[in-house]
Structure 1
């Protein structure tokens, strides 16, 4: 016996003969009983060893298995003991496998590093999952479930089920139950249990559940009569399920081909039959057409010197004699029938979930359009001004948020500061525009439109000169990161939820101002009948300035909200000006609730068109504009029409 092997045997006998030492080093004692297989593992011999280690229940085994899989275990040549080993130059720093205590160092040439191959590492990973499913650390349990998701195994089904009852974390418990159903469907052998798992999946909309059900319904295409007991999905019909060419290709793959005579075969037979310038008595000179050649060939067939052409129904006969069927890979028809019914129910649930998700998207987009357009609706309704620079107020608000974040790095605090500051900045810009330009162009809509358009271009260029042409970041706080996800289909980002809440707050604020304050009373009076309001002592100029400040300030706040998820550039406002005007016109000029209705209609319409034609967003914009043109023809005053002389 070699000296090293004798030494290992002696150490093992010493460990076994000393109860106290064995109790102090139970992992080492167990490892020594499998020392040879651990040193030279193979997939054939190592599985019983790993099973023995896993079934021992020793708390130190998971750490050993993890280190072994990561090539962090060494065996000291002098005595055959195993250690956690870290390579440092020409030395291994050793730690005891029982407790991890320092065990000194050993030269690189005096120890052997255990290097399991890929197959052995997979077996180790499977064994680790058994321990991790009940590990006190929730992160380790989640890691075990992720590993099980990537590589489901029938061997781990029983440990997974056993761990469900003792699981205290609700989310992890739900994940364990889901994995139990998924693995049962795939690997289970008990039909009632598999049927129960399929029934559970019929209430889900997750991608995993749909993939598992589709996995039960995979088929193979067979040519000819299926074997006895085959679970036939359907018999394919030519013209409905596949083309004639596809059917012939399947037949040809099985060396089942209809007899055929090509033109080359025909011509070869005719040439071979030429005798004294004739073919079976027919002059060669007369065989100048296809019809004549085929007719001559038929005389050869009648004489028995050429093979006959196949009948016209040869392909139909072949397909009748050799049906093409799809056969389920799953042998049990009860399982496939249940899977088909469950998948139909899941697809119905998915369709409803997609409708709900589309509704959330439409609501989110409508909130953005409402914020962008409500200021324009107020100023347009009160002053009749077509303000093409309204989008630049949105842009100024976004850049205000960016500047605040450069000064205040805390994103939550900076957002709290940026929202009111953006209102003030945009409101001041709106007042300046109204005082310096618009009031001097009163009742001259064409000049006002051109002037505000020119101002919008000028403001964009000024911002480019200050901030550059590249987009700048407006970062949202951590509590606005991510998305609220109901399932694999329905979800909406927290930023969009925040914008919806912001839109609802402004809706309530504007309704209160317009219905419960003196300014609101004056705005409504000027909107409905400016002449009568002036005769009652209301200053239309002052009301117009206040209204312009309010509408512009709201646009600035909208800019901060939009900048949290969109690029902040000098041209960002131009992307919302068209939608803002459409929202105002469709909803009804000067009406808060009309703007809300218009935003909802346009947002829902745009998302609906994009859903039907997701590959072409430009088409969605085009169809939406066409719809709005038709809508205005039917209802020119909008959804909520204003009353009074101004409405005329």
Structure 2
């Protein structure tokens, strides 16, 4: 290790002050260490690496890669080394200096260098150091990834030396991050370690949390008194921090108390001592109770033929006479104190980050529920129709997007086309459903519910007949792939961001239609007082038809958006119909702002429940339904109660 450290320092000198005036070829360096290269061992590998570092030879990383992979062969005739791969019975040889490739038909006359696992680990570490300044950016990135996976103290010096002159900003930032982590763990200067730990206190990445945890690693000890100079983490209380059995077992393992003797041990000891049908002067036939066996065992203890039974009082006294404690593996108390402060700061940032991440997830879920429910809110609010086929309109929109993508392979263009096409398809389906079925069932909610439920089943089966039962892909464009990553805690997929933006656009569009257009004025008039609206020349029958079509069309657009991240199947609508009705009822029937409020309440509440029970989303949905049932008991008209007809009803 000392040789390797010197080699690293030599590398730093080369990087800082330049290369030696007289350059050696790689083959020259290997010939000067021919035995160590041909038959490497853990004792000699450091000398070879030090010689390579001190030289100005080119091709050292390639040689080290080949050496590690057992691809270095020596020609017996002149001792020259090659990088080679086997080709049948022969070899394909690559000259280490010129990269000239030759082929030999037989590997006779060549000897393979076969470093063992320990030597290969040293070679890998040295290879990382060389690659840190490699002109190829992918090699530098690979070296940094290797350091991140397996950090060690000998990587610190070359990592620092490679910082100056690093041309790529992202690679430089990664090097600086790793340098701080390695300094916090391995630097010999305590002040430098403390400074690095303080620098890391605002970083919530998994790597940094791992570094701080390693600095604060502890071991459990027991002693009569805590030894002076121990970097104490905390005292353990028997019965609270560890059980009495575990504590006493620790005393036994530390040779501070005799081992306990169980009834099984008593029986085993007595059995081993049986002679002529007796043990401890007692006939074996009389040892048919635990008390008799213990009495015989005590006789063996008195004669020195068995260990003593530890009485409860003796055990309690032994526990009270010793101190159980955790001590840091790091001896320097200042370093662990800095690490504890950093860990506390990271915990605060982590809590804030988790809150932000949970809020973003809740907003995303609320936007999905809003898109799924806004069409239902319009039809249910204006017409009072319980449309159980609303989820199937969402499914129709998703399948429409899938069909468009089969015709238009450009995913961006296909999504742009799919949105209005899905609206048109589901608008037409909604109008047809209203004209053929719904208009004959007004003011008959039970018959309407049953009819729309039957239509939902028919639409599901129709989708199965056309598209099959397998999930169909609705592929998002490349610019929606991946996620917006702030740090290791805060991240959200671009598709969910797009759905959130789409929900905001629809909110604005629907408000514009309802507040700024004649259709919106007529819809609001029919919603608040259909009789008065009819007396003013408005045709409620026409408004109901257009309103039902509008709600169905919006459901189709929601299906395209939802299909970008969820599975597109014939049953996908059933996954959202319950949430859609809950959103409408909780928010307030027939009110856009109420639907938004209901979606937000349900989205945030469900994510909050999932936070406490993340492994069971079904339980979260169950609790959510119970919450909605309780909520409507106290506010039956929802968060935003509708004025007018709803108030009269």
1:182 — aligned with what? Answer: 181
For 1:327, what is the secondary structure of its paired residue?
strand
CA drift at 1:611: 0.9
2:547 — aligned with what? Answer: 547
1:611 — aligned with what? Answer: 611
1:467 — aligned with what? Answer: 467
* CA deviations over 1:356-377 (Å, ceiling 9, x no partner): 1111111110010000000000
CA drift at 1:134: 1.5
1:18 — aligned with what? Answer: none
Relative to structure 1, the CA distance from residue 308 to residue 148 in structure 2 (aligned partners, 3 Å threshold; closer, same or farther) is closer
**Alpha-carbon separation, structure 2, partners of 1:23 and 1:331:** 46
2:394 — aligned with what? Answer: 394
1:330 — aligned with what? Answer: 330
**Alpha-carbon separation, structure 2, partners of 1:251 and 1:557:** 69
**1:503-522 pair list within 5 angstroms:** 503-522=503-522
CA drift at 1:574: 0.9
Relative to structure 1, the CA distance from residue 321 to residue 493 in structure 2 (aligned partners, 3 Å threshold; closer, same or farther) is same
**Alpha-carbon separation, structure 2, partners of 1:495 and 1:290:** 71
2:456 — aligned with what? Answer: 456
For 1:239, what is the secondary structure of its paired residue?
coil
**Alpha-carbon separation, structure 2, partners of 1:56 and 1:68:** 18
2:140 — aligned with what? Answer: 141
* CA deviations over 1:43-85 (Å, ceiling 9, x no partner): 2112111121123233322222223323333322322222333
Structure 1 unaligned segments of length 5 or more: list them: 1-21, 275-288, 299-306
Relative to structure 1, the CA distance from residue 29 to residue 583 in structure 2 (aligned partners, 3 Å threshold; closer, same or farther) is same
Question: How many corresponding residue pairs?
Answer: 614
**Alpha-carbon separation, structure 2, partners of 1:272 and 1:86:** 75
CA drift at 1:409: 2.6
Could you tell which deviates more after superposition, 76-85 or 529-538? 76-85
**Alpha-carbon separation, structure 2, partners of 1:254 and 1:65:** 47
CA drift at 1:106: 6.4
Asked if 2 retains the 8 angstrom alpha-carbon contact of 1:380 and 1:590, the reply is yes
**Alpha-carbon separation, structure 2, partners of 1:83 and 1:100:** 9
Could you tell which deviates more after superposition, 133-142 or 444-453? 133-142
**1:268-347 pair list within 5 angstroms:** 313-347=313-347
2:252 — aligned with what? Answer: 252
2:130 — aligned with what? Answer: 131
**Alpha-carbon separation, structure 1, partners of 2:346 and 2:321:** 38
2:49 — aligned with what? Answer: 50
For 2:221, what is the secondary structure of its paired residue?
strand
Relative to structure 1, the CA distance from residue 158 to residue 513 in structure 2 (aligned partners, 3 Å threshold; closer, same or farther) is same
Relative to structure 1, the CA distance from residue 243 to residue 526 in structure 2 (aligned partners, 3 Å threshold; closer, same or farther) is same
Asked if 2 retains the 8 angstrom alpha-carbon contact of 1:474 and 1:563, the reply is yes
**Alpha-carbon separation, structure 2, partners of 1:69 and 1:294:** 64
CA drift at 1:112: 2.6
* CA deviations over 1:445-481 (Å, ceiling 9, x no partner): 1111111011001111111111112222222222222
**Alpha-carbon separation, structure 1, partners of 2:499 and 2:228:** 63
Relative to structure 1, the CA distance from residue 184 to residue 92 in structure 2 (aligned partners, 3 Å threshold; closer, same or farther) is same
**1:416-565 pair list within 5 angstroms:** 416-565=416-565
**Alpha-carbon separation, structure 1, partners of 2:89 and 2:294:** 89
Asked if 1 retains the 8 angstrom alpha-carbon contact of 2:252 and 2:259, the reply is no
**Alpha-carbon separation, structure 1, partners of 2:310 and 2:46:** 61
Relative to structure 1, the CA distance from residue 256 to residue 403 in structure 2 (aligned partners, 3 Å threshold; closer, same or farther) is same
Relative to structure 1, the CA distance from residue 48 to residue 551 in structure 2 (aligned partners, 3 Å threshold; closer, same or farther) is same
Relative to structure 1, the CA distance from residue 242 to residue 561 in structure 2 (aligned partners, 3 Å threshold; closer, same or farther) is same
* CA deviations over 1:77-120 (Å, ceiling 9, x no partner): 32222233343333333333223134564642133333333222
Q: TM-score, normalised by structure 2?
A: 0.87
**Alpha-carbon separation, structure 2, partners of 1:40 and 1:34:** 10
For 2:108, what is the secondary structure of its paired residue?
helix
**Alpha-carbon separation, structure 1, partners of 2:337 and 2:114:** 48
**Alpha-carbon separation, structure 2, partners of 1:294 and 1:206:** 59
Asked if 1 retains the 8 angstrom alpha-carbon contact of 2:90 and 2:103, the reply is no
**Alpha-carbon separation, structure 2, partners of 1:259 and 1:128:** 52
**Alpha-carbon separation, structure 2, partners of 1:411 and 1:260:** 72
For 2:484, what is the secondary structure of its paired residue?
strand
**Alpha-carbon separation, structure 1, partners of 2:160 and 2:318:** 52
Asked if 2 retains the 8 angstrom alpha-carbon contact of 1:84 and 1:100, the reply is no
Relative to structure 1, the CA distance from residue 48 to residue 517 in structure 2 (aligned partners, 3 Å threshold; closer, same or farther) is same
Asked if 2 retains the 8 angstrom alpha-carbon contact of 1:258 and 1:314, the reply is no
**1:70-85 pair list within 5 angstroms:** 70-85=69-84
* CA deviations over 1:243-286 (Å, ceiling 9, x no partner): 22222221222344369899999xx9xx9899xxxxxxxxxxxx
2:99 — aligned with what? Answer: 100
Relative to structure 1, the CA distance from residue 30 to residue 258 in structure 2 (aligned partners, 3 Å threshold; closer, same or farther) is closer
**Alpha-carbon separation, structure 2, partners of 1:273 and 1:27:** 83
2:221 — aligned with what? Answer: 222
Q: TM-score, normalised by structure 1?
A: 0.87
**Alpha-carbon separation, structure 1, partners of 2:42 and 2:333:** 36
1:11 — aligned with what? Answer: none
**Alpha-carbon separation, structure 1, partners of 2:243 and 2:107:** 68
* CA deviations over 1:521-572 (Å, ceiling 9, x no partner): 1111111111111111111122122211211111111111111221111111
2:285 — aligned with what? Answer: none
**Alpha-carbon separation, structure 1, partners of 2:290 and 2:25:** 93
Relative to structure 1, the CA distance from residue 65 to residue 257 in structure 2 (aligned partners, 3 Å threshold; closer, same or farther) is closer
Could you tell which deviates more after superposition, 596-605 or 80-89? 80-89
Could you tell which deviates more after superposition, 383-392 or 102-111? 102-111
1:211 — aligned with what? Answer: 210
Relative to structure 1, the CA distance from residue 172 to residue 447 in structure 2 (aligned partners, 3 Å threshold; closer, same or farther) is same
**Alpha-carbon separation, structure 2, partners of 1:527 and 1:326:** 70
Asked if 2 retains the 8 angstrom alpha-carbon contact of 1:94 and 1:106, the reply is no
Larger Rg: 1
For 1:510, what is the secondary structure of its paired residue?
helix
* CA deviations over 1:218-245 (Å, ceiling 9, x no partner): 2222221444422222221112212222
Could you tell which deviates more after superposition, 572-581 or 480-489? 480-489
CA drift at 1:25: 7.5
Relative to structure 1, the CA distance from residue 224 to residue 543 in structure 2 (aligned partners, 3 Å threshold; closer, same or farther) is same
**Alpha-carbon separation, structure 2, partners of 1:134 and 1:105:** 35
CA drift at 1:23: 8.2
1:385 and 2:421 are equivalent in the alignment: no
1:167 and 2:172 are equivalent in the alignment: no
Asked if 1 retains the 8 angstrom alpha-carbon contact of 2:58 and 2:97, the reply is no
* CA deviations over 1:415-473 (Å, ceiling 9, x no partner): 22222211111111111111111111122111111110110011111111111122222
CA drift at 1:42: 1.2
Relative to structure 1, the CA distance from residue 397 to residue 141 in structure 2 (aligned partners, 3 Å threshold; closer, same or farther) is same
Asked if 2 retains the 8 angstrom alpha-carbon contact of 1:594 and 1:640, the reply is yes
1:641 — aligned with what? Answer: 641
For 1:164, what is the secondary structure of its paired residue?
coil
Relative to structure 1, the CA distance from residue 314 to residue 519 in structure 2 (aligned partners, 3 Å threshold; closer, same or farther) is same
What RMSD over aligned residues (CA atoms) do the two structures have, in Å?
Answer: 3.5
Relative to structure 1, the CA distance from residue 105 to residue 290 in structure 2 (aligned partners, 3 Å threshold; closer, same or farther) is closer
For 1:633, what is the secondary structure of its paired residue?
helix
* CA deviations over 1:328-361 (Å, ceiling 9, x no partner): 1111111112212211221121111111111111
CA drift at 1:123: 2.0
1:574 — aligned with what? Answer: 574
**Alpha-carbon separation, structure 1, partners of 2:496 and 2:48:** 55
